[in-house]
Amino acid sequence: MSVMVQDLHFSYGPRPLLAGVDLTIEPGEFVALVGVNGCGKSTLLRLIAGLLKPSSGRILLGGAELGTLSRRQVAQRLAVLHQSLPPVPALTVRQLVRQGRYPHRGPLGLLWESDTMEQALELTGVAHLADRVLDTLSGGERQRVRLALAVAQDTGILLLDEPTAHLDIRHQLEVLELVRTLRATRGLTVVTVLHDLDHAARFAERIVALHGRRVWADGKPKDVITPELLAEVFGVAGRVVTDELHGTPRCLLDTPL
């Protein structure tokens, strides 16, 4: 499912954060949003999800204008993986993942167990944790469970806000590998906020850099991740080399500018 952002403006009070953002994401693309803290990456993700209302501009999901859709219709089109879950005392993994089926509940609001939910547990490798209480899980396990919740929602678009935050290196790689696998096997359109440029270059096929309230650069990792990007967007001097194993750009950071 496609995502289209047209001349999008958004302000927090008197402070403009995004101004004239244009972005088209085709069905099945894996796009990483990058930029410094406060540049509007997470805000743009929340606007696409309909969690914030733009000052002006349009957002279309699969050709349908976001503002004309109900919350349930939006939830049938996209799933959001936030940076953290709200406190859910004594909730088990299965009980949480079941919530992903609510946008598809039947007549009279009835909700049944479904193959989709079981597949979500299996695909994300947490079926063996189904009866565990969330509070007993590790950070990496929790992130997989959150992905299972999003997969159970069975949408065409997956939005992820810093999915590797607070994870150690091993679990960062596990989560990103899982996202890439889910995208390939389920034909998902994936838009994710990432801070690590090396991860963005390795796992996403397209990078959108935000700077100065607009899209500063948009394209393949090898075209976007350059010494100029490091200097002008991130304020550091650095070099960009090619990873011999993966053939993707890697950043060697030298000094702040």
Find the CATH number of the domain harbouring 121: 3.40.50.300
Q: How many helices (H) and strands (E) does the chain have?
A: 9, 12
Which residue range(s) make up the domain with 67? 3-256
The single-letter DSSP state of residue 85 is P
Distance CA 188, CA 92 (A): 26
pLDDT tens sequence across 56-99: 999 999 999 999 999 989 999 999 988 766 666 788 998 888 88
pLDDT tens sequence across 130-149: 999 988 888 888 888 989 98
Cβ atoms of 28 and 50 within 8 Å: the answer is: no
If one compares 91 and 208, the residue with the highest pLDDT of the two is 208
Question: What is the reported pTM?
Answer: 0.91
pLDDT of residue 107: 45
CB atoms within 10 A of CB 124: 25
| 115 has a pLDDT exceeding 80 | no
pLDDT level of residue 110 (50, 70, 90 thresholds)? very low
Closest CA to 43 of 25, 61, 19, 70: 19
Buried-state track 239-248, b at ≥16 Cβ within 10 A, e below 16: ebeeeeeeeb
Domains of the chain: total: 1
